[in-house]
Amino acid sequence: GAVVSQHPSWVICKSGTSVKIECRSLDFQATTMFWYRQFPKQSLMLMATSNEGSKATYEQGVEKDKFLINHASLTLSTLTVTSAHPEDSSFYICSAISRDYYEQYFGPGTRLTVT
């Protein structure tokens, strides 16, 4: 099956700083990538959908100026959490799809802790 990687797998940062998370499709070209967030004991919530070369579509309630998404190539999407606050501490997971695959393939997730 297809492989999606994320980097870093975990990060601790101070309040007010920015953090960039990378999502890569390793062996296929991802036409669309999704970014999810999961708080403890909660469901995965879709934050945004990004298509290569175009602006991301954000879900209601997700601040696009705070969560910057760049899908610059068919194998890479980045999520930057700007001016992070403790309430942004969460598990961030990306997924990717292509025309060749029926299934959304998920990355291993990035655990962000903001102190």
Nearest approach in angstroms of CB 17 to other proteins is: 23
Q: Indicate whether 45 belongs to the interface with other proteins (CB under 8 A).
A: yes
Q: Record the tokens describing residue 21, joined without a space.
A: 């998370």
Q: Using the rule CB under 8 A, is 46 a contact of other proteins?
A: yes
Residues 90-109 close enough to bind other proteins by CB under 8 A: 91, 93, 97, 102-104, 106-109
Q: Exactly one of 15, 17, 18, 42 binds other proteins (CB under 8 A); which one?
A: 42
| Binding status of residue 74 toward other proteins by CB under 8 A | no
| 51: contact with other proteins by CB under 8 A | no
Is residue 58 part of the contact set for other proteins (CB under 8 A)? no
Per-position DSSP letters for the chain, written without gaps between them: ---EEEE-SEEEE-TT--EEEEEEESSS--SEEEEEEE-TTS--EEEEEEETTSPPEEPTT--TTTEEEEEEETTEEEEEE-S--GGG-EEEEEEEE-TT-SSPEEP--EEEEE-
Region of 66 (left: φ > 0; alpha: ψ -120 to 50; beta: rest) is alpha
Supply the minimum distance, in Å, between the C-beta of residue 70 and other proteins.
Answer: 20
Site for other proteins, rule CB under 8 A: 32, 34, 41-46, 49, 91, 93, 97, 102-104, 106-109, 111
